[in-house]
């Protein structure tokens, strides 16, 4: 008896190679380790997408037959960037609280477009801290869509009336399930279990109020120290996950660090006491400067959101500059959605404006961010044995970091050696590469 049509296996798209051998010549190499650049470099990638050589041309192995070789003409080759704080499931702050009104199918396609924009900007790995389901992570990994390698928090853990409580007075959730609400240590443990069941790679909690939330202020405290410790303990009981704390005001930042979180997100009220405590505990800071310095537009923001950002911009500038000077571990994150998607590397410009050198800012966006995600054994630097996630930019970012902020000057993006964006050969008349599998 034949199989009924509705039980027949669905047709699948062909799975293209996850990686490809590649050789870049004539490069200025910034390898992400913090070392000075190599002027005449070769990056050689084997057919597994693993780097064989990244260094001076004079010590490079001979070219192998059949390897795609590109002369980058003196342009700069860098590791693919890691944006450790994005919201790819939403377009803007206003969209975040209006998702209930959107057609889910349309939202999937729009999110896929945002993934592509982010990848084309030079971000080959991203950590989504609320709003993107684990299915998007898996779709990228399986080659169903092009985008950065993804870690996702799925939803944001908050208390009732806190930063991620998007309910109206009548109980309607305007965010279409973006928040996970819990109010006691026991409820927090159950919430963590639900998030892990949903496939979360990282647990995102709210240790303070925020700017985009209508019910609270950045100085308001969110989860208590006891509740934060319960989150950290519960993730440890289930194999361990990083815990990222939305924390803007000082009291909540201190609670988050004392509770054992992996990273403080935003950290605008990071005083000397908080900076010292972060150093003692090895906590990362993801300052998301773009959302403060680029994200203030009265025409597109709710009035309460606009007022908060104006009030906190100078506080942020002072405290994050001090954190840079004090040597706090800083990873790159933009809070994309609060600012336009696809302009992620503007964050490097803001880091340099507060005291980092261009090389330090690049390292923050590559190696340090990879360390935060626990991926530094695979990505974050261009070294032999690492996966070949890389970008080529038109210009020297050590002389002018702004060359990285314009996506049109990011002329090539590769993941595990597979070219995802290619303006070098397309300018010579070749067709763009098709979507390939890319975890």
pLDDT in tens, 300-313: 777 887 888 888 88
Q: Please state the rounded mean pLDDT for residues 280-291.
A: 96
SS3 state of residue 385? coil
**pLDDT for the residue numbered 438:** 37
Q: Where do the domains of the chain lie, and which CATH numbers do they carry?
A: 22-80+380-426 (2.30.40.10), 81-373 (3.20.20.140)
Reported for 260-265, long-range contacts at CB under 8 A and 24+ positions apart, including other chains, are 260/228, 260/229, 260/232, 261/205, 261/207, 261/228, 261/232, 262/202, 262/372, 263/84, 263/331, 263/372, 265/85, 265/129, 265/204, 265/333
SS3 state of residue 338? coil
Give the separation between CA 37 and CA 81, rounded to whole angstroms.
17
Share of the chain above pLDDT 70, in %: 87
Confidence of residue 8 (pLDDT cuts 50, 70, 90): very low
Helix H, strand E, coil C: the string for 416-433 is CCEEEEEHHHHCCCCCCC
Vertex 44 angle, CA 42 and 49, to 5°? 145
Confidence of residue 148 (pLDDT cuts 50, 70, 90): very high
**pLDDT for the residue numbered 425:** 86
**pLDDT for the residue numbered 296:** 75
Q: Which of 317-321, 361-365, 412-416, 432-436 has the lowest mean pLDDT?
A: 432-436
CA 103 to chain centre: 26
pLDDT at residue 427 tops 90: no
Nearest alpha-carbon partner for 122 in 431, 305, 392, 416 = 392
pLDDT in tens, 159-202: 987 776 665 555 545 445 678 999 999 999 999 999 999 999 99
Give the separation between CA 243 and CA 228, rounded to whole angstroms.
9
Nearest alpha-carbon partner for 336 in 103, 115, 150, 180 = 115
Q: Please state the rounded mean pLDDT for residues 196-215.
A: 92
**pLDDT for the residue numbered 98:** 58
**pLDDT for the residue numbered 312:** 87
Confidence of residue 429 (pLDDT cuts 50, 70, 90): very low
Share of the chain above pLDDT 90, in %: 74
SS3 state of residue 1? coil
- Mean pLDDT (the chain) is 89
Distances (CA, A) of 39 to 34, 42, 78, 348: 15, 10, 13, 22
pLDDT in tens, 114-138: 999 999 999 999 999 998 999 999 9
Give the separation between CA 303 and CA 370, rounded to whole angstroms.
36
pTM above 0.85? yes
Q: Please state the rounded mean pLDDT for residues 197-219.
A: 91
Give the separation between CA 24 and CA 43, rounded to whole angstroms.
5
Q: List the structure tokens of 155.
A: 């939803």
**pLDDT for the residue numbered 105:** 86
**pLDDT for the residue numbered 201:** 98
Q: List the structure tokens of 7.
A: 């039980």
pLDDT at residue 83 tops 70: yes
Evaluate the CA torsion angle 407, 410, 411, 412 in order and state its sign: negative
Nearest alpha-carbon partner for 235 in 206, 209, 197, 273 = 197
Give the separation between CA 352 and CA 37, rounded to whole angstroms.
18
Nearest alpha-carbon partner for 141 in 132, 133, 150 = 150
């Amino acid at each position: 008896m034949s199989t009924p049509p509705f039980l027949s296996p669905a047709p699948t798209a062909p799975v293209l190679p996850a990686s490809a051998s590649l050789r870049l010549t004539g490069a200025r190499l910034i390898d992400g380790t913090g070392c000075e650049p190599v002027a005449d470099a070769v990056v050689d990638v084997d057919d597994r997408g693993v780097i064989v050589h990244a260094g001076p041309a004079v010590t490079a192995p001979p070219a192998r037959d059949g390897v795609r070789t590109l002369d980058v003409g003196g342009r700069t080759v860098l590791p693919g960037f890691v944006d450790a704080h994005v919201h790819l499931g939403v377009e803007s702050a206003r969209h975040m609280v209006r998702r209930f009104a959107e057609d889910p199918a349309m939202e999937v396609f729009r999110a896929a477009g945002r993934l592509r924009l982010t990848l084309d900007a030079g971000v080959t790995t991203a950590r989504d801290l609320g709003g993107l389901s684990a299915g998007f992570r898996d779709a990228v990994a399986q080659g169903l869509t092009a985008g950065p390698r993804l870690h996702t928090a799925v939803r944001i853990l908050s208390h009732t009336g806190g930063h991620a409580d998007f309910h109206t007075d009548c109980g309607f959730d305007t965010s279409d399930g973006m928040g996970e609400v819990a109010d006691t240590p026991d409820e927090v443990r159950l919430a963590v279990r639900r998030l892990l069941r949903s496939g979360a790679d990282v647990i995102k909690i709210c240790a303070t109020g925020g700017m985009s939330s209508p019910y609270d202020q950045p100085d308001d405290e969110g989860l208590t120290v006891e509740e934060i410790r319960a989150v950290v303990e519960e993730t440890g009981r289930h194999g361990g996950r990083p815990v990222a704390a939305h924390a803007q005001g000082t009291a909540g930042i201190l609670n988050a660090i004392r509770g054992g979180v992996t990273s403080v997100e935003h950290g605008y009220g990071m005083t000397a006491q908080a900076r010292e405590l972060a150093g003692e505990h090895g906590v990362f800071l993801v300052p998301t400067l773009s959302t403060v310095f680029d994200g203030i537009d009265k025409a597109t923001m709710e009035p309460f959101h606009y007022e908060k950002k104006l009030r906190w911009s100078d506080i942020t500038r002072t405290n994050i500059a001090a954190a840079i000077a004090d040597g706090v571990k800083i990873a790159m994150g933009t809070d994309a959605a609060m600012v336009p998607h696809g302009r992620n590397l503007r964050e490097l410009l803001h880091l340099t404006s507060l005291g980092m050198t261009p090389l330090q800012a690049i390292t923050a966006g590559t190696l340090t961010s990879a360390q935060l995600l626990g991926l530094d054994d695979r990505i974050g630097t261009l070294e032999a044995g690492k996966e070949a996630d890389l970008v080529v930019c038109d210009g020297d970012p050590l002389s002018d970091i702004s060359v990285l902020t314009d996506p049109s000057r990011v002329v090539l993006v590769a993941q595990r050696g597979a070219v995802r964006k290619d303006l070098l050969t397309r300018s010579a008349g070749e067709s763009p590469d098709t979507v390939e599998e890319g975890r």
